[in-house]
């Protein structure tokens, strides 16, 4: 359920949000408050969070804790830390996410986490966090995503404007070989797999979303999205909806079955980066780093977006994930904490 599912009851606060028309500013909804604040060890002076996610196979929230050098696994039910694994030497910078670890993925018994210090990817045994292997990269990593159907690890490298694809041969110590390098001029930003269509989607930094064939590793399409600055991606494969977060303060819905046709757009808080989708409840979670807010949208069968509620988060809170059971987690990089929101 990540880039690279669930019915809920609606509370009175969310019913109030339903009174908004689609065109109404999202900030007109009452600002709600997160239910809990989870502190991450070593984050007292800030943590450069980025690609937090959910590992369904492990039942944990993945929190690559920036310059602390640690990957933290959180139990979403209790809100307590389930495990902490050292990925790399802690960085010196206070808020920078350029060092340490910022993205992780799970597949076939392994956890893969980015290492900005090398640069590279650290491969862990998911059972105990033991380091099994280190993969050297050509450039600094951004998103680390595992494509289980092909046993491939995809790593986006924006500075080199490319994606490196590695084949993973499982075993006590996995054998990892470079499969291909995909040039992405003007990108890549974000990454999500569509296994039904054998595609990967990524954004360019301006105006476009790119379609890549996951078998040939070749770009096969370039869609004009309505974003000045397209950033985060989320996919509802069953409905064919690709959600694109626009950093200027809106979110768009593209139809993957009809050439990326724009089905809908809706305003949200400015500074959008990472977004998260719950296909079961048909809720989309969109945080804005500059607006210090997160909007919960209801996605209609046609792809239209209706704002249900807006939560107060924090300046710089640009990353989000959910566990598919109504628990939503938003990063607060400057405070080094995770904000928990229980989606009603």
Per-residue model confidence as pLDDT tens digits over 43-80: 888 898 999 999 999 999 999 999 899 999 999 999 99
- Tokens matching residue 299: 């996605």
User: Does residue 186 come out as left (phi exceeding 0), alpha (psi in the -120 to 50 range) or beta?
Assistant: left
- Give the C-alpha distances (Å, rounded to integers) separating 248 from 106, 278, 334: 31, 23, 21
- For the whole model, what pTM was predicted? 0.89
CA angle 52, 55, 60 (to 5 degrees): 85
Per-residue model confidence as pLDDT tens digits over 134-193: 999 999 999 999 999 999 999 999 999 999 999 999 888 999 999 999 999 999 999 999
State mean pLDDT over 209-225: 97
- Give the C-alpha distances (Å, rounded to integers) separating 3 from 195, 203, 314: 12, 12, 23
The distance of Cα 45 from the centroid of its chain, to the nearest Å, equals: 23
294 contacts 288 by C-beta, under 8 angstroms:
yes
Cα distance between residue 207 and residue 344, in whole Å: 34
What is the structure's pLDDT at 93? 52
- Tokens matching residue 153: 């690890």
Cα distance between residue 16 and residue 320, in whole Å: 24
Cα distance between residue 284 and residue 265, in whole Å: 13
Cα distance between residue 297 and residue 283, in whole Å: 5
Q: Is the pLDDT of residue 90 over 90?
A: no
- Tokens matching residue 71: 């990957």
Cα distance between residue 123 and residue 135, in whole Å: 8
252 contacts 262 by C-beta, under 8 angstroms:
yes
What is the structure's pLDDT at 22? 35
Cα distance between residue 60 and residue 76, in whole Å: 6
Domains contained in the chain, CATH given: 12-342 (2.130.10.10)
As a whole number, the mean pLDDT across the chain is 90
Cα distance between residue 153 and residue 71, in whole Å: 18
- Tokens matching residue 175: 């054998």
What is the structure's pLDDT at 3? 53
Please count the other Cβ atoms lying within 10 Å of the Cβ belonging to residue 20: 17
Q: What is the DSSP string of 183-203?
A: E-TT--EEEEEETTTTEEEEE
Alpha helices in 117-189 (DSSP H): none
The distance of Cα 56 from the centroid of its chain, to the nearest Å, equals: 14
Cα distance between residue 255 and residue 232, in whole Å: 16
* Residues 6+ positions from 332 with CB-CB distance below 8 Å: 37, 49, 313, 314, 316, 317, 338, 339
- Tokens matching residue 341: 């929101």
């Amino acid at each position: 359920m990540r880039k690279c599912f669930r019915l809920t009851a609606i509370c009175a606060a969310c019913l109030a949000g339903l009174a908004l028309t689609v065109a109404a500013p999202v900030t007109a909804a009452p600002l709600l408050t997160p239910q809990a604040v989870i502190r991450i060890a070593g984050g007292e002076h800030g943590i450069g969070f980025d690609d937090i996610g959910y590992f369904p196979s492990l039942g944990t929230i993945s929190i690559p804790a920036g310059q602390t050098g640690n990957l933290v696994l959180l139990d979403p039910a209790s809100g307590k830390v389930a495990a902490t694994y050292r990925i790399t030497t802690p960085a010196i910078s206070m808020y920078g996410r350029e060092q340490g670890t910022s993205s992780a993925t799970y597949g076939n018994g392994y956890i893969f986490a980015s290492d900005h210090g090398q640069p590279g990817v650290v491969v862990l045994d998911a059972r105990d966090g033991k380091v099994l292997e280190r993969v050297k990269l050509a450039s600094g990593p951004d998103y680390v995503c595992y494509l289980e159907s092909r046993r491939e690890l995809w790593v986006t490298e924006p500075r080199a404007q490319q994606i490196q694809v590695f084949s993973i041969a499982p075993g006590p110590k996995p054998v990892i070989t470079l499969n291909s390098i995909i040039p992405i001029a003007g990108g890549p930003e974000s990454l999500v797999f569509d296994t039904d269509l054998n595609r990967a989607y990524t954004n360019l930094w301006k105006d476009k979303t790119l379609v890549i064939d996951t078998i040939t590793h070749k770009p096969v399409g370039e869609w004009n999205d309505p974003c000045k600055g397209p950033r985060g991606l989320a996919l509802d494969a069953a409905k064919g909806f690709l959600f694109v977060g626009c950093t200027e303060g809106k979110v768009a819905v593209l139809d993957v079955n009809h050439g990326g046709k724009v089905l809908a757009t809706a305003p949200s808080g400015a500074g959008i980066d990472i977004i998260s989708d719950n296909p079961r409840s048909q809720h989309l979670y969109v945080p804005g780093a500059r607006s210090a807010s997160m909007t919960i949208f209801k996605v209609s069968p046609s792809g239209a977006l209706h704002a249900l509620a807006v939560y107060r988060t924090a300046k710089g809170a640009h990353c989000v994930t959910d566990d598919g059971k109504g628990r939503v987690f938003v990063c607060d990089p400057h405070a080094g904490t995770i904000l928990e929101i229980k989606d009603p």
